[in-house]
Structure 1
Amino acid sequence: MTEYLRINLDSERWECRRCDHDIAPARGNYKEGLLVYNRDPREIHKPLLDPAKYDYTYSPNPTWCRILEYYCPECGTMVETEYTVPGHPPTHDIEFDIDALKAQWSKRKEVVNRNPGKEPPKLEGHHHHGHSHAHAPAKD
């Protein structure tokens, strides 16, 4: 579903693609099962002007902006980052129709199962974007 998240349709759970950790129910917000680091934005966007002399330093004001970093509690992989206002709950940024996904994948499994003796395709969330990975032959 993302670089670090997948949905296990059998268990209906979000899982970490790095370590297979069970994160949260797939019908809910995956962020609820992750560790959250509530960052002061000045740690990431260093002030360009001296904060002792100037109110506005070209760095986000922590009174108005926080950066939330979400990590897998098992392997520590950073899964997502979001800019938000202090105290705002985690945004619900991904939602899938689990029933429709199950129906779609059951049809794909039927097609795969009709080809005995052939290796089934990998169903991991890798996406092909039309780029050829073929290399030109080396010239002597």
Structure 2
Amino acid sequence: MTRVRITEYLVVDLEGERWRCERCNHDLGAAREDYKRGCLVAERPLEEVHAPITGGAAYSFTPSAEYCRLIEFYCPGCGVMVENEYLPPGHPLTRDIELDIDALRAKHAER
């Protein structure tokens, strides 16, 4: 199996054209599709993740769920956090990685 590391916790199996968790080898779906479809998804409350930023009595800031949400993506096999993203409410999840599988296969066939 030819595996190419894409991120810290994502690899692509070029022979099977599958996304896989680097840590546990769990199948996360077709490599020509978005790997996030194969992940567990959680929306975290911002106040749980970010402590209020204060500048004394005159200034205090806490991120607002009215303007931003935090989405986390986890491997269903081992629970490692694969990715996270901050999005405005109502914004669709982003597709942050789109591979040219044919070019990757050609590159690794030469080796």
Distance of 2:78 and 2:93 partners within structure 1:
21
Once the two structures are superposed, what CA deviation does each residue of 1:93-132 show, in whole Å capped at 9, x if it has no partner? 1111000001111111xxxxxxxxxxxxxxxxxxxxxxxx
Distance of 2:60 and 2:37 partners within structure 1:
34
Displacement of 1:64 in angstroms is 1.2
Counterparts of 1:3-82 in structure 2 under 5 Å? 3-48=8-53, 57-82=60-85
Displacement of 1:22 in angstroms is 0.4
Displacement of 1:48 in angstroms is 4.3
Q: How many residues align?
A: 102
> Does structure 1 residue 91 correspond to structure 2 residue 110?
no
Displacement of 1:12 in angstroms is 0.5
Which structure 2 segments of 5+ residues have no match? 1-5
Once the two structures are superposed, what CA deviation does each residue of 1:43-69 show, in whole Å capped at 9, x if it has no partner? 1112346xxxxxx94111101111111
Distance of 2:90 and 2:14 partners within structure 1:
33
Which structure 1 segments of 5+ residues have no match? 50-55, 109-140
Counterparts of 1:124-135 in structure 2 under 5 Å? none
Consecutive aligned runs of 4 or more in structure 1 exceeding 3 Å deviation:
none
Change (3 A) 1:71 1:104: same
Larger radius of gyration: 1
Distance of 2:77 and 2:26 partners within structure 1:
6
CA-atom RMSD in angstroms: 1.5
What is the DSSP-based 3-state SS (H/G/I as helix, E as strand, rest coil) of the residue aligned with 2:61? coil
Q: TM-score, normalised by structure 1?
A: 0.68
